[in-house]
Amino acid sequence: MTATDKAGFAPIYDSLVAEQGDVPAETREAAEEIQREAAEALDFRTVRPGD
């Protein structure tokens, strides 16, 4: 896609974001949060033997 093509789609994307919200950004944020939570849940460095 060229710069001209991208510029042509911007108004459509902008109107969808205004109407529906920025779904890709929200999805990315949710995925990052899930990754942080999973990393914390699977962090076995805090497990002490014999507890």
What pLDDT shows up at residue 13? 83
The model carries a pTM of 0.57
- The alpha-helical segments, DSSP class H, found in the chain are 3-20, 23-41
pLDDT classification of 50: cutoffs 50, 70, 90: low
Other beta carbons within 10 Å of 17: 13
Q: Kindly report, residue by residue over 1-48, the tens digit of the pLDDT.
A: 455 555 556 888 888 888 999 998 999 999 999 999 999 999 888 777
Using CA of residue 10, residue 14, residue 17, residue 22, what is the dihedral sign? positive
User: Which among 21, 3, 27 is positioned nearest to 13, based on CA atoms?
Assistant: 21
What pLDDT shows up at residue 4? 52
